[in-house]
Amino acid sequence: MSTHAVVITGENFKAKVLESKKPVIIDLWAEWCMPCKMIAPTIDEIAKTYKDKIEVGKVNIDEYPELATELSVMNIPTVIFFKDGKESGRVVGVNTKEMFEKKITAFFGKL
């Protein structure tokens, strides 16, 4: 589990994601998912690098399947980008830190 990302739950999703003043990235994952484990260090690095500019959270879909359903997540890992409480975009599957940084710029502008 990430040391820099916050745990997003069904109870705090609205406050931490939809009502956040900062852009938010959430990683939907599961313990049994090997690709999820592969991107976990990248997500943690992004959380550390952008800690003052972006909120980064993780949703365990086995613990909060209702969030996966509500967000129409069909495959994991899925990383969803939110700005002003609305989805800006998403990335499905394993990707590099550089690709995530390009998506951050594309979805959130220059931070």
- CA-to-CA distance for 99 and 91, rounded, in angstroms? 10
**Max intra-chain CA distance, the chain:** 35
pLDDT of residue 2: 52
Task: Kindly name the residue from 8, 36, 40, 61 that is annotated as catalytic.
Answer: 36
pLDDT of residue 4: 82
pTM: 0.94
Compute the average pLDDT of residues 47-58.
95
The CATH number of the domain covering residues in 6-108: 3.40.30.10
Tell me the per-residue pLDDT of 66-88, one tens digit each, with 9 for 90 and over.
999 999 999 999 999 999 999 99
Q: Is 89 a catalytic residue?
A: no
- Centre a 10 Å sphere on the Cβ of residue 4 and count the other Cβ atoms it contains: 14
Compute the average pLDDT of residues 25-48.
96
pLDDT above 70 covers what percent of the chain?
97
pLDDT of residue 26: 97
Tell me the per-residue pLDDT of 1-29, one tens digit each, with 9 for 90 and over.
556 899 999 999 999 999 999 999 999 99
Task: Provide the mean pLDDT of the chain.
Answer: 95
Domain spans of the chain, in order of start = 6-108
pLDDT of residue 3: 66
Task: Kindly name the residue from 8, 28, 33, 68 that is annotated as catalytic.
Answer: 33
Q: Are 107 and 83 in contact (CB under 8 A)?
A: yes
Q: Is 8 a catalytic residue?
A: no
- DSSP 3-state assignment of 6? strand
